Amino acid sequence: MAKCGSGCVFPVKDIMPLMPSLPCFFVLIAIVVVTAESACNSASESKSHMKRLKENLFRDYDTSSRPVRRWSDRTQVAVQMIPLSLDFDEIYDVFTLHSSLHFAWIDEFLVWNASDYGGIEHILLDGDSVWVPEVFHLSSWDITDLMGRKRLCNLFSSGWLHCWDYPILIALCRLDLTHWPYDSQNCTVTLSTVTQSLEEIELMVIGAAVNLQEYIPSRAWKLLTVTVSQYNHIFGNKVFPCLQYNLLLRRSDAISGVTIVVPIIVLVFLVLSSFWLNSEQEVRVNLCCTLLVCHVLFLQNIGHINNGDNAPVIVLFFRDSLVLCVFSLEFAVFMQWLNTTSPRKVPYFFNSVFDSGPAWMLLLLGRRNCLKGSETLNDGRQETADPETVSDVKTRWRDFGGLLNHLFFLVYCLIYLILIFMYVV
């Protein structure tokens, strides 16, 4: 038994089994302390390498000087655009492109040996701490400095400097609504170095100039293709490099196609169907009046489309269809008057026309019911007519009206086909 200082008593045999484990415990603590100290030393060493690297790189670095050792050397800047999304304000013809622009070039003053700095091969920098090319976006009314924004740069030990930004490119894009609502638009975005000539900087396109993998499609417009072209702009006695991105867009608004094209097809079909209605009934005149009102209202609905000097072909097609509808209404009124007027003598010319083969083909009759006594009906000396003769005259005038209806139907079909080939094909 053993006594403690306070007078308590505890058996010695109870603590004897714990004695062998105490050295292991202290060894474990020592390992943890040594590991933590080693990690701290490694982090401190790595931090010291990074600090020393930055101090050596930027000790005498000038962000306003082009990073070449010989001033006659040209700085080649590789550019890549990644479209993210787009928007179109059709009222003001303003095209807005949300994008990600990437620039890469070699800075001859920012080169180091990675083995001398703990294996550090690249560092992340703020774009304000290095020289960047002065690339501008040339819109129709403004010049925007793309590299003057807050950006990040990735610097590699070989001197390659990669900077990127997420600018919003706004440009004026004149809409061509000739084929509205199935129109395609070609909008351009131009990048240039307006303060540094081609002798100093060359804009290059390497590999995939445009990457569409991150593009979010628009519901109103479909981005078909994006092409880039290089050209030089001469201003004064200097030449400046330019990159022009051409974006081909197609309207993908299915609602406009349904609400515009389908009513046109229905109205054209009804105009052609009016020639097959009975001329003696008022339903034909009422239908033509209704079609005329529908044409006027529809033109008022799509009349807000402003396309400058050229009107959309769909408006021109509807304008011509309105004229044809007016003539069909006048023809329907004439046919109703022709069938309700008192019987008159049938001219001899009409009889000869009725007896011809093409006339009966237009009337869609299987046999001819020509009048045997046409000479008697056309005799100018006959003052009165018996009931049978009056009935035959009415029949002949009715056949004449049917011939005109079928003839006008074929003429209208031909006119509509010509309009379709003129405006659509």
Q: Which residues of 224-235 are buried (b: 16+ CB within 10 A; e: fewer)?
A: eebebeeeeeee
Q: Report pLDDT for 153.
A: 92
Average pLDDT, the chain: 78
Distances, alpha carbon 214 to alpha carbons 85, 98, 100, 210, 260, in Å? 9, 11, 10, 11, 33
pLDDT tens, position by position, 259-311: 888 889 999 999 999 998 887 778 899 999 999 999 999 888 887 777 666 78
d(CA 327, CA 331): 6
Longest alpha-carbon distance in the chain: 164
d(CA 109, CA 60): 10
Q: Report pLDDT for 181.
A: 84
d(CA 321, CA 332): 16
Top-confidence residue, 36 or 230:
230
Q: What are phi and psi of 85, to 5 degrees?
A: -165, 165
Q: With bands split at pLDDT 50, 70 and 90, how would you rate the model's confidence at 344?
A: low
Domains and CATH numbers, the chain: 75-252 (2.70.170.10), 255-423 (no CATH)
d(CA 192, CA 203): 8
For residue 181, whether the previous peptide bond is cis, meaning omega lies within 30 degrees of 0, is yes
Q: What is the helix, strand, coil percentage profile of the chain, to 5? A: 40, 25, 35
* Most confident region among 56-60, 69-73, 266-270 by mean pLDDT: 266-270
d(CA 367, CA 113): 104
* Range of lowest pLDDT (182-186, 190-194, 374-378): 374-378
pLDDT tens, position by position, 86-134: 998 888 888 899 999 999 999 999 999 999 998 999 999 988 889 998 8
Q: Is 262 in contact with 279 (CB distance < 8 Å)?
A: no
pLDDT tens, position by position, 216-226: 998 889 999 99
* Range of lowest pLDDT (136-140, 245-249, 277-281, 306-310): 306-310
Strands 122-126 and 94-106: unpaired
d(CA 184, CA 217): 16
The pTM (predicted TM-score) of the whole model is 0.70
CB atoms within 10 A of CB 331: 19
Distances, alpha carbon 80 to alpha carbons 44, 242, 245, 400, in Å? 38, 13, 11, 73
What sign does the dihedral 396-400-402-403 (CA atoms) show? positive
- Terminal alpha carbon distance of the chain: 114
